[in-house]
């Protein structure tokens, strides 16, 4: 199922949550929607789900407008940050519920396409479907547990299985991992990606965590307040950001004044891992280490170069360097990226 958001504007009173936003999510693609708090990510997801109606523009599934289609008939499965499992039902019953009912409640909105048992479909086949889903999310054997007897990560897996139960054509994930600790988030995001690939389900994954977005997505849509800044593969948004906002939001980076390198551009992006410590290159800058962060496999160095703070990612053997040490920073021409709005002439050393 292809999901198209076309020139959508959405206002809440005086607040413009989305302005003229367009986004195309291909069949079976996972697009991560990333951006700072309040930029409109959840609103966009709710518009796709049908919980909100745009003031202008259109939402299309496979080229057909779904604006008149209520949420429960859009064929979307949704997973929210706060799992929202039914506390009085077992794991099995929670997932089976996704097969039976459309459900909304005041404190959260979770709607799945109503799926009545097909003719000839017996209880046993439903049971085996629930078991398959639990196996898919790695919860086999926990069918009879109550939600309170599960860890946070297990609860979120149940929520995912429940959302997948009615075989939705579109999966919408709204900060599905933000309530979990860092290690678990890393593990679950890979599992979600694997499940999404296995089912080939069109997915929009909202997160404020750019690292998570880069890790899971086929393409990343970067939002700033009420509009899309760029949509591209993780490599594209990281290596060739379309705007200064994207350059700053995705990954760590150095936005240098052009004159620092003698380049004819106002701002130049150099990623920290591209800077060579004490090695010659096309450009060499001299500076002093002002701070150091040990990160296990690497060391982040903050280096002052003529009043400009640069961040350098050095392999950890360089951890012998100390604050106050003088260093040379080597930058090759191919490591420079001039932001599109600022392109004038190719850099010359």
Q: Site residues (CB under 6 A) for ligand ATP?
A: 12, 15, 17, 35, 37-43, 208
Nearest distance from C-beta of residue 101 to ligand ATP, angstroms? 25
- Shortest Cβ distance from residue 107 to ligand ATP (Å)? 14
- Which lies closer to ligand ATP via its Cβ, residue 34 or residue 159? 34
Shortest Å distance, C-beta 17 to ligand ATP: 4
Q: Which is nearer to ligand ATP, 156 or 207 (CB)?
A: 207
Q: How far is the CB of 243 from ligand ATP (least distance, A)?
A: 18
Q: Shortest gap between Cβ of 225 and ligand ATP (angstroms)?
A: 8
What minimum distance in Å lies between the beta carbon of 18 and ligand ATP?
A: 8
183, burial (CB in 10 Å: exposed 0-12, middle 13-18, buried 19+)? exposed
What are the φ/ψ torsions at residue 174 (nearest 5 degrees)?
-110, 100
Nearer to ligand ATP, 175 or 335 (CB): 175
Whole-number Å distance between alpha carbons of 254 and 248: 8
As a whole number of angstroms, the distance between CA 108 and CA 80 comes to 9
* DSSP, residue by residue, 49-108: HTSS--SEEEEEETTEE-TTS-GGGTTEEEE-TT----TTS-HHHHHHHHHH----BTTB
Alpha-carbon Rg for the chain, nearest whole angstrom, is 24
Largest CA distance in the chain: 77
Task: Choose between 37 and 345: whose C-beta lies nearer to ligand ATP.
Answer: 37
Comparison of 78 and 95: residue with beta carbon closer to ligand ATP: 78
Nearest CB to ligand ATP, comparing residues 102 and 208: 208
Q: For residue 64, what are the contacts with CB-CB under 8 A and spacing of at least 6?
A: none
Q: Which of 302, 300, 303, 304 is nearest to 316 (CA)?
A: 300
CB 174, min distance to ligand ATP, A: 8
CA distances to 180, 191, 196, 199, 289 from 156, rounded to whole Å, are 9, 12, 15, 18, 43
With CA atoms as reference, report the closest residue to 192 among 129, 174, 76.
174
| Residue placing its CB nearer to ligand ATP in the complex, 40 or 98 | 40
Which CB sits closer to ligand ATP, 13 or 120?
13
Token pair in block for residue 67: 């604006």
CB of residue 35 vs ligand ATP: minimum separation in angstroms?
Answer: 6
210: which 2 tokens?
């750019």
């Amino acid at each position: 199922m292809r999901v198209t958001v076309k020139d959508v504007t959405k206002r809440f009173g005086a607040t413009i949550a989305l302005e003229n936003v367009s986004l195309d999510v291909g069949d079976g693609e996972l697009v991560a929607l990333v951006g700072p708090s309040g930029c409109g990510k959840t609103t966009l997801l709710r518009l796709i789900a049908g919980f909100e109606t745009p003031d202008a523009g259109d939402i299309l599934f496979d080229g057909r407008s779904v604006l008149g289609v209520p949420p429960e008939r859009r064929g979307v499965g949704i997973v929210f940050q706060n799992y929202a499992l039914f506390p009085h039902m077992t794991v099995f019953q929670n997932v089976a519920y996704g097969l039976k009912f459309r459900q909304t409640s005041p404190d959260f909105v979770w709607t799945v396409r109503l799926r009545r048992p097909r003719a000839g479909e017996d209880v046993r086949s439903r049971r085996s479907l629930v078991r398959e889903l639990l196996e898919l999310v790695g919860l086999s054997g926990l069918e009879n547990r109550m939600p309170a007897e599960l860890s946070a990560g297990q609860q979120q897996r149940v929520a995912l299985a429940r959302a997948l139960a009615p075989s939705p054509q579109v999966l919408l994930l709204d900060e599905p991992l933000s309530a979990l600790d860092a290690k678990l988030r890393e593990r679950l995001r890979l599992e979600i990606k694997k499940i999404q690939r296995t089912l080939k389900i069109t997915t929009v994954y909202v997160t404020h965590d750019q690292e998570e977005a880069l890790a899971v997505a086929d393409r990343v849509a970067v939002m700033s307040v009420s509009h899309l800044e760029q949509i591209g593969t993780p490599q594209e948004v990281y290596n060739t950001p379309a705007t200064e906002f994207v350059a700053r939001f995705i990954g760590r980076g150095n936005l240098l004044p052009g004159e620092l390198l003698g380049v004819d551009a106002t701002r130049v992006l150099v990623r920290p891992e591209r800077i060579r410590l004490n090695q010659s290159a096309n450009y060499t800058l001299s500076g002093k280490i002002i701070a150091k962060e040990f990160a296990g496999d690497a060391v982040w160095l903050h280096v002052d170069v003529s009043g400009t703070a640069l961040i350098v990612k050095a392999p950890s053997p360089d951890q012998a360097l100390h604050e106050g040490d003088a260093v040379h920073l080597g930058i090759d021409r191919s490591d420079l990226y001039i932001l599109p709005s600022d392109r004038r002439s190719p850099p010359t050393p």
